A and B are shown apart, each in its own frame.
Chain A
Amino acid sequence: MGNMASKGQLANSGTRLGGDGKAIKPSNVVTNGPYAEIKEMITGIIVVKAGDINEATEIAKGCPILNAGGSVEVRNIIPIGAN
């Protein structure tokens, strides 16, 4: 992350998500624990600045979670600003 910050690519320092959770589905069905339709859960989010998604993907390749068998999802952001 220090690497990214020094290159001016970091937009925020990121957020880690805790292990507890609840998931809600329609008709208010509530299940305990993080969303578990799939075995991997989301552990964190970080916002970066990049020219396009390919550039962002290059940055993602350096994420340490890949060394732990995890994966990184890269998505473009649409701000929920004011109209």
Chain B
Amino acid sequence: MIYRSEPMGEIKLTPEGNLEISKEWENWMGGIAAQNKLVSPGMRLGNEGRTVKPGNIVTNGPYAEVKEIVGGLSIFRAESIEDALELAKSCPMLNVPDGSVEIRDIIQMNG
């Protein structure tokens, strides 16, 4: 799942340098983990950004053709896209300004 929302400003970190996770997110992810459907909590994408376009054109900031930027992603395990949708419906990202969740299936690349 790919999370998008309006840029959210400062990102809070724990003393160890990890993302400080809110109770809502923790409960949501914990609930999915309890169903044995969490593959990876994934990552939050930071506020630093660069966008590279053909011709070596580099612009500052996250990719921002529209106002929402990608905030992060997680990887889940679901029987079907509908199953994944069920999981996504209670995602805290949907309670955030212009928040959305995109569900995509994954094709593993071999290293």
Q: Which residue of A lies closest to B108 (CB)?
A: A15
Q: Which residue of A lies closest to B51 (CB)?
A: A73
Contact residues of A with B, CB < 8 Å? 1, 5, 10, 12-18, 20-26, 28, 30, 34-35, 37-38, 40, 42, 44-45, 47, 53-54, 56-57, 60-61, 63, 66-67, 69-83
Instruction: Provide the bound-state CA to CA distance between A10 and B7, in Å.
Output: 28
Contacts of A82 in B (CB 8 A): 18
Instruction: Provide the bound-state CA to CA distance between A15 and B91, in Å.
Output: 22
Query: What are 24 A-to-B residue pairs whose CB atoms are below 8 Å?
Result: A15-B108, A15-B109, A16-B108, A17-B106, A20-B81, A21-B105, A22-B85, A24-B100, A24-B103, A25-B94, A28-B94, A38-B65, A38-B66, A42-B70, A60-B52, A66-B54, A70-B54, A71-B53, A72-B51, A75-B62, A76-B48, A77-B43, A77-B46, A78-B43
Known: A74-B50, A76-B45. A25 touches B100 (CB 8 A): yes
Q: Which residue of A lies closest to B63 (CB)?
A: A73
Interface residue from A5, A18, A28 paired with B104 (Cβ < 8 Å): A18
Instruction: Provide the bound-state CA to CA distance between A1 and B109, in Å.
Output: 11
Q: B6 on the interface (CB 8 Å rule)?
A: no
